[in-house]
């Protein structure tokens, strides 16, 4: 029987391994239709190519619960281009943590600002000082969001309500805007003193995407996006930039709403289904899923791969260069 099976392609990407599938073989019986065979950690599944029919209940649940949806896997296998489905015509990249190593700079600035605020507040209320957690609090309440949304989100998590204030508030004002402005001053100071590094793997990937004729956009909540891109020396790699300034001008909601990514796809003249989102933030991959984008790549820099998948990533990598292999 095996002699009747023609193996047309083998796929053993780390993308497959992550959900327990060890490899995938696309096979075709002589004169018959194509089938997809997944070698999973808990057994072997064979299903009709492109339909997923033939999966046992256990395996179907396994596939549905992870990125490894049969149809998406088939598209990925068939494309072979930059690890993306064949239908993708544009790439939408988050900035901090995906292209540049500024996520840590931002987390540091948020911690410095919030800890000073929380320490003062603890002294006034005589309650214990609980510092800002630059991993857990940053990932859950801050990362990927517009600055003032981040302030509001974290304060709410601590049961703290402050006056909104205005964007023109000085950095020492005890308002949502004042705290946000203080954080921004700290970030600019850190960028000036430490500079900005781009991830080598990301730069190679963005160049490869350009060589492949894909549109490229930067989509970031940061109002400092242009400065950061120029400091990292990669500003000329992108046709479109949707940043915190554009978001404010066009009244675009911040992530996890998909507005800024949708604006980037529109500017590149592609449908959301033809665009891939690259994000390291939970709110960012959630925006990718909410917007109906063709593919969502989660970039795991801090060891939260499972959370990225749960929030909507189709695939999770630690470095974009993995998609070039």
Q: Which residues are catalytic?
A: 94, 96
List, in sequence order, the alpha helices (H) in 18-102. 57-65, 70-79
Rounded Cα distance between 298 and 139, Å, is 14
Tokens of 238: 């992108």
Question: Given candidates 55, 76, 88, 94, which one binds Mg ion under the rule CB under 5 A?
Answer: 94
Residue 281 touches Mg ion, criterion: CB under 5 A: yes
Q: Which stretch binds Mg ion (CB under 5 A): 34-42, 54-62, 203-211, 275-283?
A: 275-283
232 or 281: whose CB is closer to Mg ion?
281
Residue 137 touches Mg ion, criterion: CB under 5 A: no
Q: Which stretch binds Mg ion (CB under 5 A): 12-20, 55-63, 88-96, 270-278?
A: 88-96
Tokens of 256: 């996890």
The neighbour count for residue 143, using CB atoms within 10 Å, is 27
Residue 300 touches Mg ion, criterion: CB under 5 A: no
Tell me how far, at minimum, the Cβ of 104 lies from Mg ion, in Å. Answer: 11
Residue 280 touches Mg ion, criterion: CB under 5 A: yes
Residue 243 touches Mg ion, criterion: CB under 5 A: no
Are the C-beta atoms of 224 and 191 separated by less than 8 Å?
yes
The radius of gyration of the chain from alpha carbons, rounded to an integer in Å, stands at: 22
Residue 242 touches Mg ion, criterion: CB under 5 A: no
> Residue 186: what are its φ and ψ, rounded to 5°?
-65, -40
Residues in binding contact with Mg ion, number by CB under 5 A: 5
Rounded Cα distance between 145 and 153, Å, is 9
Residue 322 touches Mg ion, criterion: CB under 5 A: no
Q: Write the CB contacts of 13 (distance below 8 Å, at least 6 apart in sequence).
A: 76, 83, 325
Tell me how far, at minimum, the Cβ of 297 lies from Mg ion, in Å. Answer: 12
Residue 83 touches Mg ion, criterion: CB under 5 A: no
Contacts with Mg ion, residue ranges (CB under 5 A) = 94, 96-97, 280-281
């Amino acid at each position: 029987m095996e002699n009747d099976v023609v193996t047309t392609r083998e796929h053993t990407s780390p993308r497959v391994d992550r959900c327990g599938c060890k490899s995938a073989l696309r096979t075709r019986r002589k004169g018959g239709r194509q089938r997809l065979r997944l070698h999973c950690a808990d057994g072997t599944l064979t299903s009709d190519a492109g339909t997923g029919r033939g999966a046992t209940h256990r395996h179907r649940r396994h596939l549905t619960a992870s990125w490894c949806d049969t149809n998406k896997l088939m598209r990925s296998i068939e494309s072979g281009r930059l690890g993306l489905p064949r239908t993708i015509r544009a790439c939408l990249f988050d900035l901090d943590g995906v292209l540049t190593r500024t996520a840590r700079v931002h987390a540091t600035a948020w911690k410095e600002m919030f800890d000073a605020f929380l320490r003062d507040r603890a002294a006034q209320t005589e309650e214990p000082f609980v510092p800002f957690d630059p991993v857990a609090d940053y990932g859950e309440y801050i990362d990927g969001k517009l600055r003032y949304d981040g302030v509001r989100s974290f304060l709410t998590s601590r049961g703290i309500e402050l006056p909104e204030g205005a964007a023109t508030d000085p950095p020492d004002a005890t308002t949502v805007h004042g705290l946000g402005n203080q954080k921004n001053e700290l970030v600019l100071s850190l960028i000036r003193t430490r500079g900005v590094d781009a991830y080598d793997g990301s730069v190679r990937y963005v160049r490869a995407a350009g060589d492949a004729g894909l549109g490229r956009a930067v989509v970031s909540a940061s109002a400092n996006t242009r400065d950061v891109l120029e400091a990292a020396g990669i500003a000329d790699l992108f046709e479109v930039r949707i940043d915190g300034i554009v978001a404010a001008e066009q009244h675009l909601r911040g992530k996890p709403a998909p507005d800024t990514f949708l604006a980037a796809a529109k500017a590149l003249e592609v449908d959301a289904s033809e665009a891939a989102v690259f994000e390291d933030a939970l709110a960012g991959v959630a925006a990718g899923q909410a917007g109906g984008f063709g593919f969502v790549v989660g970039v795991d820099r801090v060891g939260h791969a499972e959370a990225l998948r749960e929030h909507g990533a189709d695939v999770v990598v630690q470095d974009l260069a993995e998609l070039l292999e």
